[in-house]
């Protein structure tokens, strides 16, 4: 075979190879082929969007457009799809969606040869389950004072729902009992119960009288007895004694009464006694305390049960005389 014939044979072989088993570089690249896929793992606020892309031989990037209309308005981050010649599956996770809302979306891919948009598809996020929150301010409260119970009903369909209040007092062995008439939550699901007084430590909760059955966490409101404190003197020589006396309302006969002195951020124990009867609604205490150094003092009444919380009286200043 002559040299010319051999060259011709090789040229025919190369041409044949290119036609039947050609490498990707032999084809001219084109804009990507795109198909918008399904929406999966749908929750009230998140979704995963899927689709397929064939880059058609040129470096390709993609994103998903999404929004509540076909104008979309929001996009996922731009992601690289490569430069292959076969269709690949692509995904994007979307967060921060509104519950019970229909969204439109489409897949869009771009390379140096052009941009291709997939068809529009849509999905609806799931309903946000209803949930109740409840807080009490102030908490604890002084005996004879009231508090405000406020909360929010969140979730799909929260506006205008009836909210009922229940309570049970110390020692918390009885079932919850309903109090007041139900209130109606506002357009944001907010509600407020005004309590004029809380007689003892009390647990509260709110619930929906209608279906679905939703109950809030229990909120405990503590009640601290009211303590008055009188001093026999406010200036004393080192080692001298000062008489602490006063009342406790409601009556807390036999409760431990502690005199404390402040040192830095702590209150130190100085002396203690027991309260005694002073009437139907009041107890009294009295004790003489040796004062070794001046400072700020207070009286603390320790709670012996769950009826009331530990309470303190107003701070008093004692100065040492020289």
Per residue in 145-174, pLDDT tens? 999 999 999 999 999 999 999 999 999 999
CA–CA dist 291, 241 (Å, integer): 6
Please check whether residues 237 and 307 belong to one and the same domain.
yes
Per residue in 106-123, pLDDT tens? 999 999 999 999 999 999
Its domain, for residue 304, covers 226-321
Q: Contact 144/227 with Cβ under 8 angstroms?
A: no
Please check whether residues 120 and 27 belong to one and the same domain.
yes
2 assigned to some structural domain: no
Q: How many domains, in total, are found in the chain?
A: 3
6 assigned to some structural domain: no
Per residue in 191-228, pLDDT tens? 999 999 999 999 999 999 999 999 999 999 999 999 99
Q: Which of 83, 102, 124 is the last residue of a domain?
A: 124
Tokens matching residue 205: 């909760």
Q: Contact 271/163 with Cβ under 8 angstroms?
A: no
Please check whether residues 104 and 50 belong to one and the same domain.
yes
Nearest Cα to Cα of residue 312 among 140, 145, 144, 147: 140
pLDDT of residue 303: 81
- What CA–CA distances, in Å, run from 7 to 4, 202, 212? 5, 101, 84
Q: Contact 97/69 with Cβ under 8 angstroms?
A: no
4 assigned to some structural domain: no
CA–CA dist 121, 204 (Å, integer): 47
Q: Which of 124, 156, 187 is the last residue of a domain?
A: 124
Q: Taking 60 as the threshold, does the pLDDT of residue 248 lie above it?
A: yes
Task: Centre a 10 Å sphere on the Cβ of residue 290 and count the other Cβ atoms it contains.
Answer: 12
| Kind plus residue range of the DSSP H or E element containing 12 | helix 3-21
CA–CA dist 252, 238 (Å, integer): 33
- What CA–CA distances, in Å, run from 146 to 17, 23, 227, 318? 91, 83, 17, 33
Per DSSP, the three-state class of 135 is: strand
Task: Centre a 10 Å sphere on the Cβ of residue 196 and count the other Cβ atoms it contains.
Answer: 8
b/e code 155-192 from CB counts within 10 Å (16+ = b): beebeebebbbbbbbbeeeeebeeeeebbebeeebbbe
Q: Contact 58/24 with Cβ under 8 angstroms?
A: no
Per residue in 16-48, pLDDT tens? 333 334 444 445 899 999 999 999 999 999 999
DSSP lists the bridge partners of residue 202 as 169, 221
Please check whether residues 141 and 184 belong to one and the same domain.
yes
5 assigned to some structural domain: no
φ and ψ of 308, to 5 deg: -135, 165
Q: Which of 124, 158, 193 is the last residue of a domain?
A: 124
Q: What mean pLDDT value characterizes the chain?
A: 91
9 assigned to some structural domain: no
Please check whether residues 84 and 147 belong to one and the same domain.
no
Predicted confidence band of residue 1 (pLDDT cuts 50, 70, 90)? low
17 assigned to some structural domain: no
Give the dihedral sign, CA 210/213/216/222.
positive
- What CA–CA distances, in Å, run from 6 to 1, 43, 257? 6, 68, 116
Please check whether residues 254 and 275 belong to one and the same domain.
yes
Please check whether residues 112 and 42 belong to one and the same domain.
yes
Please check whether residues 160 and 93 belong to one and the same domain.
no
Please check whether residues 178 and 231 belong to one and the same domain.
no
Per residue in 49-62, pLDDT tens? 999 999 999 999 99
pLDDT of residue 7: 53
1 assigned to some structural domain: no
Please check whether residues 231 and 302 belong to one and the same domain.
yes
pLDDT of residue 280: 82
Nearest Cα to Cα of residue 81 among 121, 119, 47, 118: 118
3-state helix/strand/coil string of 241-301 = EEEEEEEEECCCCCCEEEEEEEECCEEEEEEEEECEECCCCCEEEEEEEEECCCEEEEEEE
Domain harbouring 246, CATH code:
2.60.40.730
Tokens matching residue 142: 């002084």
Q: Taking 50 as the threshold, does the pLDDT of residue 14 lie above it?
A: no
Please check whether residues 230 and 317 belong to one and the same domain.
yes
Please check whether residues 31 and 119 belong to one and the same domain.
yes
Q: Contact 151/158 with Cβ under 8 angstroms?
A: no
Domain harbouring 61, CATH code:
2.60.40.10
259 assigned to some structural domain: yes
Taking the model in full, what pTM does it have? Answer: 0.73
């Amino acid at each position: 075979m002559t040299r010319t014939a051999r060259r011709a044979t090789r040229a025919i072989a190369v041409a044949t190879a290119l036609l039947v088993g050609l490498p990707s570089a032999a084809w001219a690249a084109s804009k990507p082929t795109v198909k918008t896929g399904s929406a999966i793992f749908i929750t009230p606020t998140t979704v995963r969007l899927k689709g397929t892309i064939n880059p058609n031989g040129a470096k390709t990037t993609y994103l998903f457009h999404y929004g509540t209309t076909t104008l979309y308005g929001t996009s996922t981050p731009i992601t690289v799809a490569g430069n292959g010649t076969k269709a690949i599956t692509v995904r994007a996770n979307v967060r921060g969606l509104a519950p019970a809302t229909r969204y439109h979306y489409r897949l869009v891919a771009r390379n140096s040869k052009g941009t291709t948009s997939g068809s529009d598809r849509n999905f609806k996020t799931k309903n946000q389950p209803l949930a109740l929150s409840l807080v009490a301010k102030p908490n604890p409260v002084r005996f004879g004072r009231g508090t405000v119970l406020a909360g929010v009903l969140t979730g799909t369909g929260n506006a205008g729902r009836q909210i009922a209040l229940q309570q049970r007092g110390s020692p918390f062995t009885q079932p919850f009992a309903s109090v007041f008439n139900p209130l109606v939550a506002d357009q944001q699901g907010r509600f407020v119960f005004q309590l004029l007084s809380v007689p003892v430590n009390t647990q509260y909760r709110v619930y929906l009288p209608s279906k679905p059955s939703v109950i809030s966490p229990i909120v405990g409101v503590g009640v601290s007895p009211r303590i008055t404190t009188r001093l026999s003197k406010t200036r004393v020589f080192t080692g001298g004694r000062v008489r602490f006396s006063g009342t406790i309302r409601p009556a807390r006969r036999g409760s431990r009464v502690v005199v404390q002195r402040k040192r830095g951020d702590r209150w130190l124990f100085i002396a203690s006694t027991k309260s005694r009867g002073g009437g139907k609604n009041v107890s009294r205490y009295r004790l003489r305390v040796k004062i070794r150094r001046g400072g700020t003092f207070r009286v603390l009444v320790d709670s012996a049960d769950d009826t009331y919380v530990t309470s303190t009286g107003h701070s008093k200043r004692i100065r040492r005389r020289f």
